[in-house]
Amino acid sequence: MMATDLLKKQHRKAEELFKKLEKGGRMTAGTLDDLATDLIAHMAIENEIFYPAVRSVQPDLIAEAIEEHAVAEFELKRLIATNPKDKAFAPRLKVLQELIEHHVEEEERDLFPKIEKALGGARSTELVAAMQQRFKEIKADDTLSLLFKGAKSADERSRAADLATAT
């Protein structure tokens, strides 16, 4: 499996969860938690493992993707803090969904094809293993409380990644 295939699979799951949330109903709270933990874990594996490994392939798109994560994380925090019965919930859900859809479209259309050509099969296999392991670790943690209790933001991770590559 290519690293991009793993990320695409996670993109499809997020799309399904957004659809469930749009429909509402009794599953909303659990579905929102599922979406939030999946998005947090997905953004973390991209920021911590995938993007640093492929930054040289398309540095401008990677920088933009990291910024999109920062905005999505902010909107996710706002959505989680909103009662699903509140009139602000649906618009906040829609904004987050549109941000994620835009991000996914750019990754899958512009970034992933270039990465797939540049990555060798062995390197992609290594990335998949590391990304799957990290995804499981994050999902096992109390990711929602981490989101609100000072876990590094996407913006802080972006600055750290920039510093690491500058040295």
25 or 16, greater pLDDT: 16
pLDDT in tens, 32-80: 989 999 999 999 999 999 999 999 999 999 999 999 999 999 999 999 9
Residue-averaged pLDDT of the chain: 85
- CA 167 to centroid of chain Cα atoms: 26
- Which single residue is written with the structure tokens 């909103």? 82
Q: What is the pTM of this model?
A: 0.83
Q: Where are the alpha helices (DSSP H) in the chain?
A: 3-23, 28-45, 51-54, 59-80, 89-106, 112-118, 121-140, 143-148, 154-166
- Distance separating alpha carbons of residues 69 and 81, to the nearest angstrom: 18
Domain locations in the chain as residue ranges: 3-166
pLDDT in tens, 84-113: 889 999 999 999 999 999 999 999 999 999
